[in-house]
Amino acid sequence: MRFVDSASVMVEAGKGGSGCLSFRREKYIPDGGPDGGDGGDGGTVYLVGDEGLNTLADFRFNRMYRAERGQNGMGREKTGYKGGERLVKVPIGTIVYDDETDECIGELVKDGERLLVAQGGYHGLGNIRFKSSTNRAPRRSTDGSPGEKRFLRMELKVLADVGLLGMPNAGKSSLIRAISAARPRVADYPFTTLYPNLGVVRVDASRSFVVADIPGVIEGAAEGAGLGIQFLKHLSRNRVLLHLLDAAPFEGGADPVDEFRKVEAELAKFSNKLASLPRWLILNKVDLLPEEEREASCDALLQALNWDGPVFKISALQKQGTDPLIYALMDALEEAQQQEAEEA
């Protein structure tokens, strides 16, 4: 399904039912007292996290969600029924804002988690509520209050363990195809990937992690150039970033060192948190280098980058060197999860 990153909707809770103005009327009881019941509360609108969804696409076609109105009160002290709740399913990782005030209402990070976005109206009171020692036949009842109405902006951040980072055409989509069942489009031109792709990498029957491939980052992405700023935020939830670099650029093509510095600068400009995430360097397309020059060429590139972090030399297209990368990632993620559990 096509990935949609954000959506705007209107939600409206149900109005509370009005109280009833009624008097008891029965044979042989000429002066029955008040018996008007209360109305029912209006229904409330909730957003509910659903792990089965991975897109906000449905909200492009249905932008209005209303809860049920509360029933009016009735005679014989009968209370109106409460309006039914409206449950709107959204993908896990959805952040919800009030579109008019830009206030962050909350985010949904667990399956089944609820977020109240529009409170139902309060019920009106029937005239029996106003009976007193001095007013035995009150002719007063109240209307239910209106339900809350809000305009929401929802943004979806991809929940993945590992994020793929790099310039357009660095081989990110090829890598996610090589290590998972995801099948993003792969072609020999920039911005082949227009939407984030998620892939589940299964190390064995009980061990797996999720990888996110986002559109390539170009210079100026933090200010909105290209597709970068729209999707850079997806990387903020990752535990590890894989920075892919084309180790065998065409003659006269872009300098890998220059491309590396540009992406690094965009990360720092966009978010300090993003820039501080663990980052591994992946030298891709090494199969295009002459075998006798491969090691020397990669070492020279690492020296030029002054890189001292983890590095892997792979060919995503040929699936060379991807297995050691997968196992190293799984070990690092399990170690990070264990550390988080101990700190908690």
State the Cα–Cα distance between residues 213 and 322, nearest whole angstrom: 16
Closest CA to 178 of 264, 51, 291, 287: 287
Q: Give all domains of the chain, ordered by start, each with its CATH number.
A: 6-156 (2.70.210.12), 162-343 (3.40.50.300)
Q: What percent of the chain has pLDDT over 90?
A: 40
- Segment 59-72, tens digit of pLDDT: 878 899 999 999 99
State the Cα–Cα distance between residues 200 and 121, nearest whole angstrom: 44
Residue with the two structure tokens 């009968």: 78
- Segment 112-123, tens digit of pLDDT: 999 999 999 999
Closest CA to 92 of 193, 210, 9: 210
What is the model's pTM?
Answer: 0.61
| Mean pLDDT in residue range 171-190 | 65
| Mean pLDDT in residue range 168-173 | 78
State the Cα–Cα distance between residues 165 and 175, nearest whole angstrom: 11
Closest CA to 161 of 245, 246, 93, 263: 93
